[in-house]
Chain A
Amino acid sequence: MNAIENNHLLLVDDETDFRAPLKKRLGKRGFIILEAGNGDECQKVMADAPVDVVVLDVKMPGMSGIEVLEWIRENYQNTEVILLTGHASASDGVEGIKKGAFDYLTKPVEFEHLVQKIGQAVEKRRREQEKKQEAEFKARMEQQMITTERLASLGTLSTGIAHEIDNPLAIIKESAEYMRILLNKEEHAQLPRKPDFENAIGKIETAIERAKRITHQLLGFVRKPETFFTQTDLKVLVAETVEFAGKEAENKGIKIVRDVEKANGVIWSDPYEIRQVLFNLLTNAIAAVGSDGTITVSLKDTDSRVMFSVEDTGEGIPKENLEKIFEPFFTTKPPGKGTGLGLYVTCGIINRLGGKIDITSRVGKGTRFSVTLPRTHKACESMGDNKNICVDILNRIKGDPAK
């Protein structure tokens, strides 16, 4: 069993004569051995290096083994402790187990027996770590599923609303148009306060355009029927988008750095949609930086996936906003400036393409959006928003990323 190898083992015993031969023999079995002559030293060693298993003598001057055990349990929950007790003091061992030791052995210790115990402790530790990782992963996935579901139901709701709004909007538009035509008739040439009327109609028309933009963007999120998969060169897309957004950035003193040359970046996906994603992320980054800063667009790939990220040196996103940024209509911009749909649409597109989007942000430092996309269209064939995520979860649980 190679699980033993490279495990950090700490021997805590006040007798050097006991420690030295043990260290030598255990070292031959592949452990990395650390030593401590008393409780204080043990604390120092553990503060400096990670320790997997502690072999701890109960009878020591200064801090007793039990005290050290209590301290370890309090500070290093993941470290296993094996107690060594005197021949006549089995009760120490029992007390130790009650306090959270893995097990105890009575001195004099039979070497093979000790090795076996350490092996068991290591195995237990490994299992627990796995369990913990699994639980964390599950919790994270559940959170992601909840978010996805929430976005999906918000999507359904907002599409419904968008449809319902388009009709009255059409009526308002026709009415405003009609008023404008009437106002421009000869019979109204001398109408008192005519400019006031014209001004008011103008405002109605502007507001209609604004509302129309929102409803159309919203409906665009849910389903674009003509998603078009083809060979897509992300390097080209990045270059195009950077060029497109570059002027605005330049005017604001923002430098856009491209870190894409080492990547291959050719995948099977929808270039139009990816361009939209890149453009949204880049304009967001420019807005976040405001002026004088740097935006880094980078590209990396593995056999089955491509990752690209847009990182800015902007204001960062406060924690309370991080959860909401993918929701429709969430914006921190003043009314009329942002629709709050950019990231919502972005998220929808990435789901459709079978990818995922991650975000890390530090207030005052900047924000980084990372997008992972599958290299081939296999994962994208089914366009269901949730299905791809499920496939992803399954693959990761199996520890076998989709090839």
Chain B
Amino acid sequence: MIRIPAKVLIVDDEKDFVEMFSLRLKETGEKVFTAHSGQECLEKLAQENIDVVVLDIKMPGMDGVETLQEIKKKYPIVEVILLTGHGTIETAVDGMKLGAYDYLLKPADAKEMAKKLEGARKRKDEHEDRIRKAEQKALLRRGGNI
């Protein structure tokens, strides 16, 4: 079965981390974009049709939670996985209440990351599917009324 690559956006102010993480994800077949700040993340989202954002919570300037809120406001169906240090688990929980798909502790295990990425993408696919079906129904109904 051919796997359609997920479009993943990695957001972290640690440039080396972003580089190595994206290299690795590319090797496993994903399509990867990168950003080093919340602002840049939003810019990338405007340009590309991203499936999943992997977002570091602790960033200078616009932090992960603020970025998450902006993402959910502008691109509600984009899934977000939060990356957090051990001390910011509460923030991760808050983040999930704000609509993040899940969180991972840094340094994250590759297998776990793969599993969550897959899960996030699946949820987005299903979500899109439901939207499509709803739109079709709406169209049909409108058609019937005419």
A220 to chain B: which residues have CB within 8 Å? 86
State whether B87 touches A223 (Cβ < 8 A). Answer: yes
Instruction: State the majority secondary structure of interface residues on A.
Output: helix
Q: Could you tell me the distance between the alpha carbons of A167 and B89 in the complex, rounded to whole angstroms? A: 15
Q: Cβ of B108 < 8 Å from any Cβ of A?
A: yes
CB pair A212–B107 under 8 Å, yes or no, is yes
Q: Is B16 an interface residue (CB 8 A)?
A: yes
Within the assembled complex, what's the spacing in Å between the Cα atoms of A225 and B21? 30
Does A182 lie at the interface of the complex (its beta carbon under 8 Å from any beta carbon of B)?
A: yes
> Is B86 in contact with A178, judged by CB distance below 8 angstroms?
no
B138 within 8 A of A: no
Total A-B pairs, Cβ < 8 A: 59
Shortest Cβ distance from residue B113 to the other chain A in the assembled complex, whole angstroms = 9
With an 8 A cutoff between CB atoms, is A166 at the interface? yes
Within 8 A of B (CB), among A112-165: 159, 162-163
Q: Which of the segments A169-177, A228-236, A313-321 contacts the partner chain?
A: A169-177
Most chain A CB within 10 A, of B17, B23, B90, B107, is at B107
| Majority SS at the chain B contact face | helix
CA distance A159 to B85 in the complex (A): 11
The answer to whether B16 touches A216 (Cβ under 8 A) is: no
- Expressed in whole angstroms, the Cα–Cα distance for A181 and B110 within the complex equals 11
Q: Is the CB of A181 within 8 A of B27?
A: yes
A174 CA / B24 CA spacing, docked (Å): 7
Kindly state whether residue B20 has any CB partner on chain A within 8 Å. yes
A212 nearest CB neighbor, chain B only? B107
Q: Give the CA-CA distance A89 to B110 in the complex, in Å.
A: 96
For A225, the closest partner residue in chain B by CB is B90
> Contact flags (1/0) for A172-212 with B, using CB distance below 8 Å?
11110110011001000000000000000000000010001
Q: Are B27 and A178 in contact (CB under 8 A)?
A: yes
A171–B14 CB distance below 8 A: yes
B-chain residues with CB within 8 Å of residue A159 when the two chains form the complex: 87
> Is there contact, CB below 8 Å, between A178 and B23?
yes
Q: What's the nearest-Cβ distance from chain B to residue A196, in Å?
A: 21
In the complex the two chains form, is B106's CB within 8 Å of A177's CB? no
* A216 / chain B contacts, CB cutoff of 8 Å: 86, 105
- Per-position contact with A for B10-35: 1 when CB-CB < 8 Å, else 0? 00001011001101100110000000
> Is the CB–CB distance between B28 and A171 below 8 Å?
no
CA distance A374 to B16 in the complex (A): 49
Q: Measured between C-beta atoms, what is the minimum distance from A45 to chain B in Å?
A: 66
Q: A169-B107, A181-B27, A181-B28 are in contact. Are A215 and B86 (CB under 8 A)?
A: yes
Shortest beta-carbon distance from B132 to chain A in Å: 35
Residue of B16, B27, B90, B107 near A166 (CB, 8 A) is B107
Most chain B CB inside 10 Å of its own CB: which residue of A170, A212, A216, A225: A170
Residues of B within 8 A of A219 (CB): 85-87
A222 at interface by CB-CB < 8 Å: yes
CB distance from A180 to the nearest CB of B (A): 9
Which of B27, B86, B110 is A182 in contact with, Cβ under 8 Å? B27
In the bound assembly, the distance between CA atoms of A63 and B16 in angstroms comes to 88
Query: Once bound together, how far apart are the Cα atoms of A177 and B19, in whole Å?
Result: 13
- Knowing A166-B85, A212-B107, A220-B86 are in contact, say whether A171-B17 is a contact too (CB < 8 A): yes
Would you give the shortest CB distance from A161 to chain B, in whole angstroms? Answer: 12
**Contact at A167–B110, with CB atoms within 8 Å?**
no
Which single member of B14, B24, B86, B105 contacts A177 (CB below 8 Å)? B24
- Do A162 and B16 touch (CB < 8 A)? no
Question: In the complex, what's the smallest C-beta–C-beta distance from A164 to chain B, in angstroms?
Answer: 10
- Chain B residues positioned under 8 Å from A169 (CB to CB): 106-107
Contacting residues, chain A, for B105 (C-beta < 8 A): 216
Contact B86–A162 (Cβ < 8 Å): yes
B17 — which chain A residues lie within 8 A by C-beta?
Answer: 167, 170-171, 174
Closest residue of A by beta carbon distance from B110: A177
CA distance A170 to B106 in the complex (A): 6
Whether the pair A171, B87 counts as a contact (CB closer than 8 A) is no
Q: Identify the closest chain A residue to B15 (Cβ).
A: A171
A162 to B20, CA, bound (A): 21
- Please tell me if the beta carbons of A171 and B85 are within 8 angstroms of each other in the complex: no
User: Which A residues lie within 8 Å of B86 (CB)?
Assistant: 162-163, 166, 215-216, 219-220
The docked-state distance in angstroms from the alpha carbon of A139 to that of B85 is 40
Whether the pair B20, A175 counts as a contact (CB closer than 8 A) is yes
Q: How far is the CA of A181 from the CA of B114 in the complex (A)?
A: 14
Contacts A/B (CB < 8 Å), 18 sampled: A159-B87, A163-B86, A166-B86, A166-B106, A167-B17, A167-B85, A167-B106, A169-B107, A170-B14, A170-B17, A170-B106, A170-B107, A174-B17, A174-B21, A174-B23, A174-B24, A181-B24, A181-B27
User: Which A residues contact B (CB, under 8 angstroms)?
Assistant: 159, 162-163, 166-167, 169-175, 177-178, 181-182, 185, 208, 212, 215-216, 219-220, 222-223, 225
- Write the residues of chain B forming the contact surface with A, with a CB cutoff of 8 angstroms: 14, 16-17, 20-21, 23-24, 27-28, 85-87, 89-90, 105-108, 110
